[in-house]
Amino acid sequence: EVQLVESGGGLVQPGGSLRLSCAASGFTFSSYWMSWVRQAPGKGLEWVANIKQDGSEKYYVDSVKGRFTISRDNAKNSLYLQMNSLRAEDTAVYYCARGGAVVTSAEFDYWGQGTLVTVSS
Amino acid sequence: SYVLTQPPSVSVAPGKTARITCGGNNIGSKSVHWYQQKPGQAPVLVIYYDSDRPSGIPERFSGSNSGNTATLTISRVEAGDEADYYCQVWDSSSDHRGVFGGGTKLTVL
C-alpha cells in the first residue's frame, strides 16, 4: 500500500525556518517525481515545488523561489522541504504528493495527509 | 503564467448531472487532472489525462477536454459527492510548474 506521511509542521515566527519531511513507503520512491502542494486555511490548492527522480531537476512557484528548497534522499525514501524566511502568507497545510514515473505531465495519484505550518508572532 | 478558471460553486439535485468547468488558454492541448477534496481530508484523484478514471472511482465520474475548456461531469449525483473539486495541469512553458484551478464547491441540494 502506498503511504506518504508528512511531519515537521508547527508554529514559527515570521522570518524563521522549518524543515518538512515526507516518508514514503509501498512503492519504489526513486522512480517517481515528487511534489509539495499547500493549502492556506479556507483557500484552494497551490503547487509549491517538485523534484525529479534523481534530484537533478527542481522547480518552484515564484512566491517561494529563493526561500524554499526541495530535496530528496532516495536511500531513506524521503522527501524534504526546507523553508526559510517564512512569511505569514506561507501559513498552510503542506501536502506531499506523488507525481509521474515516466512523463512530467502526470497526475498526483497519491497524497499524504498533510502537515500544518503556521507563521505567526 | 498559466491560469485555470473554475466557477466557485455548482449546485445540483440528487440524481441529476453536475458539470464543473475548467477554463484555460488552449487547455485542450494540455493534459488535465481532477481532484476531489472533502473537508478535513487530503485531495483524491478522480480523473487523470482528461478522461481516465483511477481504480475505485465510480463510472459516474467522467471528463472531457477541448478548446479552452475542460469539464468534469458527475452523473447521478449522490450526497457523498459533495466536495471541492480542483483541475490541474502542468505549464511546460514556465519551467514545468504545476497549476491548479481555484476550485469549485459542489453542493448537493
- A71-113 confidence digits (pLDDT tens): 999 999 999 999 999 999 999 999 999 998 887 788 999 999 9
Find the mean pLDDT for residues B39-60: 97
Q: Which of B57, B94, B100, B105 to mutate to test the interface with A (most CBs of A within 10 A)?
A: B100
C-alpha grid cell, residue A111: 497524497
**pLDDT at position B94:** 65
**pLDDT at position A102:** 81
> H helices then E strands: how many in chain A?
0, 11
What value does the mean pLDDT of chain A take? 96
**Among chain B residues, CA nearest to A45:** B100
Q: Do A8 and A86 contact (CB within 8 A), yes or no?
A: no
CA A84 from centre of chain? 14
Picking from A41, A7, A38, the residue whose alpha carbon sits closest to that of residue A24 is A7
The pLDDT tens digits of the residues spanning B54-109 come to 999 999 999 999 999 999 999 999 999 999 999 999 987 766 789 999 999 999 99
* Residues of chain B in Cβ contact (below 8 Å) with chain A: 1, 30-31, 33, 35, 37, 42-45, 48-49, 54, 84, 86, 88-90, 92, 95-103
**pLDDT at position A101:** 85
Distance CA A39, CA B41 (A): 12
**pLDDT at position B23:** 98
Q: What is the sign of the dihedral through the CA atoms of A40, B25, B89 and B74?
A: positive
Q: Do A45 and B43 contact (CB within 8 A), yes or no?
A: yes
> Between B43, B90, B92, which is nearest A111 by CB?
B43
* Residue A62 burial (10 A CB sphere; 0-12, 13-18, 19+): exposed
**pLDDT at position B95:** 62
3-class secondary-structure state, position B98 = strand
